[in-house]
Amino acid sequence: MVDAQSMMQYMFALRAAGVTDKRILNAMEKVPRHLFVQGHFQPRAYEDTALPIASGQTISQPSVVGKMTKALDVGPRDKVLEIGTGSGYQAAILSHLARRVYTIERHRGLARGAQRVLDELRLANVIVMTGDGSLGLRDQAPFDRILLTAAAEDPPANLLAQLRVGGIMVLPVGQTDAVQHLIKVEKLENGFEYTELEAVRFVPLVEGISPDP
Ligand code: SAH
């Protein structure tokens, strides 16, 4: 359980960091982040910081989750694709805001772990899959919204193709060890409109499914 004071401080820190959208704050208040981190990192789950998870990956910083979710502008009827399930925390936030969330992870162990927590929280509108997210999910396309939580050098062409006209994709772009920027891509009838948001730091988007069990 989360004590009321930690939750209040968490909400305060999120607002101070620029997460002010009520629907997003409500969703973040509902999702117990400590269930998405392991062991000795659990006591730090309500700090506004990224933390290590299994397979050498990270659960994103909560205020960055909030800001990415805001940029994605998700509506209750939206079908959303997330690339990079990781712990499943971002997917859990999206599940409270969207109609359905498909999330793809290249590490089987992470996908399994995320599924377990999402099941425990009875977030039944999230579907977790193991796969190479850079290919997208052709069967379910087009998507209203696409969110990448791993950094690409450029917006992957497959994902741009699987976004509906009028849809929005948010992703970090840039090299792993350099400054990355969050960008928002809107698909128009006759092309794409790009908006650069803030500087961020994410693990890289890696092609192919990890061979680890
Ligand atoms: N959204 C996550 C943060 C994940 S970190 C959370 O809320 O916890 C980024 C994740 O992207 C890592 O778990 C990494 O394994 C995954 N990833 C990287 N490249 C990928 C790819 N091509 N397809 C699917 N997942 C990928």
Token pair for 26: 């409500």
- CA–CA gap between residue 69 and residue 72 (Å, rounded): 5
Is the pLDDT at 177 greater than 80? The verdict is no
Q: Is residue 83 part of a domain?
A: yes
Q: Is pTM, for the whole model, over 0.85?
A: yes
Give the integer Cα–Cα distance in Å for 149 and 172: 7
- Asked whether residue 21 is domain-assigned, the answer is yes
Phi, psi of 115 (to 5 degrees): -60, -40
Report if residue 212 sits inside a domain. no
Distance 161 CA to ligand 1 centre (A): 20
186-204 pLDDT, tens per residue? 999 999 999 999 999 999 9
Helices in 84-166 by DSSP H: which ranges? 89-95, 108-120, 157-161
- Report the alpha-carbon distance of residue 145 to residue 64 in Å, rounded: 17
CATH number at residue 165: 3.40.50.150
Amino acid at 180: Q
Mean pLDDT of all residues in the chain? 96
Decide: 28 and 20 in contact? Cβ < 8 Å: no
In a domain, 70, yes or no: yes
**Domain of residue 193, residue span:** 4-200
On whether residue 213 sits in a domain, the answer given is no
User: What pLDDT score was predicted for residue 176?
Assistant: 75
Residue 207 lies inside a defined structural domain of this protein: no
Which tens digits make up the pLDDT trace of 109-158? 999 999 999 999 999 999 999 999 999 999 999 999 999 999 999 999 99
Residue 69: inside a domain:
yes
Tens digit of each residue's pLDDT (9 = 90 or more) over 38-76: 999 999 999 999 999 999 999 999 999 999 999 999 999
Cα of 4 to ligand 1 centre, how many Å?
Answer: 30
Find the residues whose C-beta lies inside 6 A of ligand 1. Answer: 57-60, 83-84, 86-87, 89-90, 104-107, 110, 132-134, 149-150, 203, 205-207
The residue among 43, 125, 12 whose CA lies nearest residue 77 is 125
The number of distinct structural domains making up the chain is 1
CB-CB contact of 128 with 118 (8 Å)? yes
190 within a domain of the structure (yes/no): yes
